[in-house]
Amino acid sequence: MTLLFIVGEGQTEEAFVKSVLAPVLRLSNIIAKPLLIETSRGHRGGGLSLDRTRRAVRNVLLEHKDAYVSTMFDLYALDKSFAGVNESVGMAPPNRASHIERLLHADIVARVGCRPERFIAHVQPHEFESLLFSDIGKLCDAEPEWDKHRAALAKVRAEVTNPECINDSPQTAPSKRLEILRPRYRKTTHGPASAIRITLDKIREQCPHFRQWFERLLQIGAQPLAVRIPESIS
């Protein structure tokens, strides 16, 4: 079995990895474990920055010599300490995410000293809630009262090529679109539960950038690191 740690921003990503990604990855001999970045003594999640990401990834790679590490960060409001965040403004969402991913991968490999294949950067355009727009019907099934918002949310989805293209401004980011819902959308409970109902297959079908990342994760099950040459992590 191949060990994979997925570094996330908070409890929503943690639950998503455990309940949605891990069961499917296990079928490819991959044990996926969520990892929240420690922001202060005894506290994890939130306060994402490049320095904290570097430390978290380095610590995992040092402790687990045969493990892989990936990230699941939101493009929306990504901290400006990450290279490429400012210069990529105006790019198409998938291109912007890919640009930041390339820079993050290069930074981690150079500073941590790991083999390139051990770190897989992923930045989700625009944020976790984009994935939930993969199936508006399943999303609105979360609460009986949400049914009256089905048409409005379906219109948002119909206006873009795919859910990952829903705007990322403070007023129109995917999570902001869900603020019309009553009872209100609760990220840590409604988010993962809705993703389960929508299914990973549907998310992969509707969200091409997410699909590319997940397909890359599936490949590592056939790449055991134990047989590769030693590395030196400083």
pLDDT of residue 16: 98
List Cα–Cα distances, 177 to 127, 156, 227, in angstroms. Answer: 12, 8, 48
pLDDT at 228 over 80: no
What is the per-residue pLDDT for 115?
Answer: 95
Domain-wise residue ranges, the chain:
2-127+206-227, 128-205
- CA pair distance 93, 209, nearest whole angstrom: 9
Please report where in the chains the tokens 């030196």 appear, as a residue. 232
Per-residue pLDDT at 162: 98
What pLDDT shows up at residue 222? 75
pLDDT digits (tens, 9 = 90+) for 124-170: 999 999 999 999 999 999 999 999 999 999 999 999 999 999 987 88
Mean pLDDT, the chain, integer: 92
Measure the CA–CA gap between 124 and 29, rounded to whole angstroms.
24
Identify the sign of the CA torsion 157, 162, 165, 168: positive
- pLDDT at position 155: 97
CB 66 within 8 A of CB 226: yes
Which residue, 77, 101, 97, is CA-closest to 165?
Answer: 97
Amino acid (1-letter code) at residue 93: P
Single pTM value for the model: 0.92
Which pair of structure tokens corresponds to residue 201? Answer: 């297959």
Stronger pLDDT, 97 or 223, i.e. the higher one: 97
4: enclosing H helix or E strand: strand 2-8
Count the helix, strand and coil residues of the chain and give each as a percent rounded to the nearest 5. Answer: 55, 15, 35
**According to the model, what pLDDT value does residue 231 have?**
61
pLDDT band at 88 (very low <50, low <70, confident <90, very high): very high
- Which residues contact residue 128 at a Cβ distance below 8 angstroms, ignoring those fewer than 6 apart? 12, 13, 16, 72, 74, 175, 187, 191
Rounded average pLDDT over 63-81: 96
Q: State how far the Cα of 215 lies from the Cα of 21, in Å rounded to an integer.
A: 12
Q: Which of these ranges, 106-110, 167-171, 176-180, has the smallest mean pLDDT?
A: 167-171
| Three-state SS at 69 | strand
Q: What is the average pLDDT across 58-83? A: 96
- The average pLDDT across 186-210 equals 98
User: Regarding the domain delimited by 2-127+206-227, which CATH topology (the fold level of the hierarchy) does it fall under?
Assistant: Rossmann fold (3.40.50)
Q: What's the mean pLDDT in 37-47?
A: 59
Name the pLDDT band for 230 (thresholds 50, 70, 90). very low
